[in-house]
Each structure stands twice: as structure tokens, then as C-alpha cells.
């Protein structure tokens, strides 16, 4: 029977090192904690496989993280998408910045630099012997 301190990693005994057992314990605690369903908002999500989560009440199946249904990068991406769809102030400001950057671009009709493969001529040209 595992003790309070080592939890579910008591099954590993003295193998693999304390740091790795602690990481496994943290992952398993997060994985087995109750999570809310995105459809019905009940705390009844169950992990079916790595990255697949199913609600036991409404039977909704969705993809999420391997150990938690909602990962931090996934939350950030969801916020960015929602802001973009709403036309939030942050995205409007970013669009304004993009248009301001076009003023720094060279004018193709006026500021054209042509590169040539011509060799330099005259006395200042380096000789092949050097």
C-alpha cells in the first residue's frame, strides 16, 4: 500500500530515482483530478487514451493534452482565436502596426539596387596572385 508521501509511485519502489518518481506522481495527480466537460460543464471527464477525453455524462469525445484535457498552449491558442474572431482591441492594434510597417519598405520604382557580376576595373582591383 503506497504511503501519503509517495502516493501512486509507491509501486515503483526504490527504482528510477526520487526526482522521476516525483514527476510521475505530479502527472498522475493532474491526470486523475476531476476535469470539467466543455459541453455540459460537469466534472465527469475521463481519459480514454493519450490525448482523448470523454465525458461520462454527455458522451462527448474530444482531443486534448496527453495528461490533462486543456493544456496551457491550447488555452493561449483558443484565446488568440477568440480575440481574432471578435475583432478585439489587441488584434486591431496589431493590424495597425502591420500597416505602419509598410512605410519602411523600399519603393520598388525609386529605390532599386541592381547587383551585377562585373569584376572591378582599374588599378585598385585585387590581382589573382594575392
pLDDT recorded at residue 124: 60
Look at residues 34, 19, 24 and name the one whose alpha carbon lies nearest to residue 2.
24
Instruction: Indicate the DSSP class of residue 109.
Output: T
Tally of domains in the chain: 3
Residue 13, domain member (yes or no): yes
Residue 130 to residue 125: CA distance in whole angstroms:
11
Residue 37 to residue 54: CA distance in whole angstroms:
8
Residues 24 and 51 in one domain: no
The pLDDT confidence band at residue 1, using thresholds 50, 70 and 90, is: low
Residue 129, domain member (yes or no): no
Residue 2, domain member (yes or no): yes
pLDDT recorded at residue 4: 81
Helix (H, G, I), strand (E, B) or coil at 41: coil
Residues 1 and 14 in one domain: yes
pLDDT recorded at residue 80: 85
Mean pLDDT of the chain: 80
> Mind listing the pLDDT tens digit for each residue in 59-115?
999 999 999 999 999 888 888 888 877 776 565 566 665 555 555 555 656 655 666
Mean pLDDT of 7-21: 91
Residue 122, domain member (yes or no): no
Q: What percentage of the chain exceeds 90 in pLDDT?
A: 36
pLDDT recorded at residue 48: 92
Lowest mean pLDDT among 19-33, 38-52, 88-102: 88-102
Which residue reads 512605410 in cell numbers?
103
Range of the domain at 11: 1-33
Residues 29 and 5 in one domain: yes
Amino acid at each position: 500500500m503506497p504511503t501519503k508521501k509517495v502516493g501512486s509511485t509507491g509501486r515503483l519502489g526504490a527504482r528510477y530515482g526520487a526526482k522521476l518518481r516525483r514527476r510521475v506522481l505530479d502527472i498522475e495527480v493532474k491526470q486523475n483530478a476531476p476535469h470539467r466537460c466543455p459541453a455540459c460543464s460537469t466534472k465527469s471527464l475521463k481519459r480514454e487514451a493519450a490525448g482523448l477525453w470523454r465525458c461520462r455524462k454527455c458522451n462527448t469525445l474530444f482531443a486534448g493534452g496527453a495528461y490533462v484535457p486543456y493544456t496551457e498552449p491550447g488555452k493561449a491558442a483558443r484565446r488568440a482565436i477568440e480575440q481574432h474572431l471578435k475583432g478585439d482591441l489587441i488584434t486591431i492594434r496589431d493590424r495597425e502596426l502591420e500597416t505602419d510597417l509598410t512605410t519602411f519598405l523600399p519603393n520598388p520604382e525609386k529605390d532599386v539596387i541592381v547587383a551585377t557580376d562585373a569584376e572591378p576595373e582599374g588599378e585598385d582591383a585585387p590581382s589573382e596572385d594575392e
